[in-house]
């Protein structure tokens, strides 16, 4: 993996943030592209947010990239652009928790700091035969203590990486390959044959079904098609990414209600139109059916975005190509391009 070949704190930090909730294979091309565009903390701090979002597009959990941007600016301001090597300073960076701080410093500088994430939770639980759920408070505390106790005087980074890799390649959630496991001689779970019961059950997310509407409002001017879109406002889902009007109000079940919502947003009258497609996708705990509809301004109505108090813009599909969008927003662009 590219971040292993030259594990500077910056490179490891970027990889760790990208790998949160995301598979290694998905991260690899994003990581390479990122490092070419933003090879240092200073490059990242100076970057335009829309450009960063465009690089992140498709990785999801966009709060991560905004936190990284804020962290890079903090590093420039408080540490002269040099990634801090003090644990408390790293922990104080936006978007960095105990695991990330430990991983970055142990892997890049061999600091004697523990890590505990999904893989090590499972490996350590099995190693000591802990039957409780590893995310329960007491069990979690015990696992952090264990992760710290087993660190050698030198080589903590290697041990942390080895334990994580053991979890991802050998000590799998189902059917762990105990016969080829290098710690099988010390593993309580293997001794007791309790691989199916340990680690204890982790509470799964309860998914909720939701219906949302994407409304495609087009305006043809001098033979050029323009669509209504905006960067999503701060504080909400996908803040900073561009999107077509999307009605996410939980009680909205029909395109008529969604068109009424847009009418209110734009202070004009929007008429519902035909359905183009439905996309099903998941965001955090929601399973969403996104109905995409064409809509139009009612006869005699017009909409001119007021630049000073609104984010709405009429944009061409070519312009959207260079702007950051969510995965479903990009799918809608493709649909309109066909
Ligand atoms: S012996 Fe089996 S259960 Fe124990 S750590 Fe190794 S792979 Fe996991």
What digits encode the pLDDT tens for the residues 82-131?
999 999 999 999 999 999 999 999 999 999 999 999 999 999 999 999 99
160 ligand 1 Cβ < 6 A: no
Predicted TM-score (pTM) of this structure: 0.79
CB-ligand 1 contact for 187 (6 Å cutoff) = yes
258, 243: one domain: yes
Q: Is 198 in the pocket of ligand 1 (CB under 6 A)?
A: no
Q: How far apart are the CA of 4 and the centre of ligand 1, in A?
A: 25
Q: How many Å apart are CA 10 and CA 81, to the nearest integer?
A: 11
Per-residue pLDDT of the chain (338 residues; tens, 9 = 90+): 889 889 999 999 999 999 998 889 999 999 999 999 999 999 999 999 999 999 999 998 888 999 999 999 999 999 999 999 999 999 999 999 999 999 999 999 999 999 999 999 999 999 999 999 999 999 999 999 999 999 999 999 999 999 999 999 999 999 999 999 999 999 999 999 999 999 998 887 788 999 999 999 999 988 999 999 999 988 888 998 999 999 998 888 899 999 999 999 998 999 999 999 999 998 888 999 999 999 999 888 888 887 666 789 999 999 999 999 999 999 999 999 98
176 in ligand 1 pocket by Cβ < 6 Å? yes
Ligand 1 lined by 163 (C-beta under 6 Å):
no
179 and 249 part of one domain: no
Number of domains forming the structure of the chain? 3
- Overall size of the chain counted in residues: 338
Considering the domain architecture, whether residues 332 and 233 belong to the same structural domain is answered as yes
Answer for the pair 243, 232: CB distance below 8 angstroms, yes or no.
yes
The residue whose two tokens read 């969604």 is 258
Please indicate, yes or no, whether residues 42 and 89 belong to a single structural domain of this protein.
yes
CB 116 near ligand 1, within 6 Å: no
pLDDT tens profile 14-36: 999 999 988 899 999 999 999 99
Q: How far, in Å, CA of 200 to CA of 104, rounded?
A: 28
**Residue with CA nearest ligand 1 atom 8:** 171
Name the active-site residue from 16, 57, 117, 212.
Answer: 16
Pocket test for ligand 1, best of 146, 163, 187, 198 (most atoms within 8 A of CB): 187
Residue 259: give its domain's CATH number.
3.90.79.10
Q: Which atom of ligand 1 is nearest to the CA of 195?
A: 3
Pair (127, 102) in one structural domain: no
Residue 193 sits in the same domain as residue 217: no
- Nearest ligand 1 atom to the CA of 178 is 2
For residue 198, the ligand 1 atom closest to its alpha carbon is 3
Contact 80, 108 (CB under 8 A): no
CA of 184 to the centre of ligand 1 (A): 6
Expressed as residue numbers, the domain containing 191 is: 115-204
Residue 181 CA: which ligand 1 atom is closest? 6
Asked if 230 and 243 count as a contact pair (C-beta separation under 8 A), the reply is: yes
Looking at 204, 225, 248, the residue that finishes a domain is 204
Q: Which of 86, 113, 140 is the last residue of a domain?
A: 113
What angle separates helix 49-56 from helix 63-79, to the nearest 10 degrees? 130
Which of 113, 129, 157 is the C-terminal boundary of a domain?
A: 113
Same domain, 240 and 183: no
The pair phi, psi for residue 24, each rounded to 5°, is -55, -45
Is 117 in the active site? no
């Amino acid at each position: 993996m590219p971040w292993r070949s030259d594990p500077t704190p910056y490179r490891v930090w970027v990889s760790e943030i990208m790998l949160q909730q995301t598979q290694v294979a998905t991260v690899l091309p994003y990581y390479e592209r990122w490092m070419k565009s933003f090879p240092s903390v200073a490059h990242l701090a100076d970057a335009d947010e829309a450009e960063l979002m465009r690089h992140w597009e498709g990785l999801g959990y966009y709060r991560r990239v905004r936190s990284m941007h804020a962290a890079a600016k903090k590093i420039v301001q408080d540490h002269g652009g040099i990634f801090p090597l003090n644990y408390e300073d790293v922990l104080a960076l936006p978007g960095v928790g105990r695991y990330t701080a430990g991983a970055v410093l142990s892997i890049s500088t061999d600091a004697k700091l523990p890590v505990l994430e999904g893989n090590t939770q499972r490996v350590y639980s099995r190693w000591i035969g802990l039957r409780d759920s590893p995310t329960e408070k007491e069990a979690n505390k015990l696992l952090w203590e264990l992760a710290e106790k087993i660190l050698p005087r030198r080589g903590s980074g290697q041990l942390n990486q080895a334990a994580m890799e053991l979890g991802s390649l050998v000590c799998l959630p189902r059917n762990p390959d105990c016969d080829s496991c290098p710690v099988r001689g010390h593993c309580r779970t293997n001794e007791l044959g309790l691989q199916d019961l340990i680690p204890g059950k982790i509470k799964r997310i309860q998914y909720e079904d939701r219906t949302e509407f994407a409304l495609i409002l087009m305006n043809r001017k001098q033979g050029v098609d323009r669509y209504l879109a905006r960067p999503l406002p701060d504080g909400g889902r996908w803040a900073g990414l561009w999107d077509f009007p999307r009605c996410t109000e939980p009680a909205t079940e029909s395109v008529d209600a969604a068109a009424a919502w847009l009418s209110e947003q734009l202070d004009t009258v929007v008429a519902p139109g035909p359905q183009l497609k439905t996309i099903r996708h998941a965001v955090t705990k929601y399973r969403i059916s996104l109905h995409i509809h064409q809509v139009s301004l009612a006869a005699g109505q017009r909409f001119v975005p007021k630049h000073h108090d609104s984010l709405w813009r009429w944009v061409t599909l070519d312009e959207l190509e260079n702007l950051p969008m969510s995965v479903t927003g990009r799918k809608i662009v493709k649909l309109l391009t066909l």
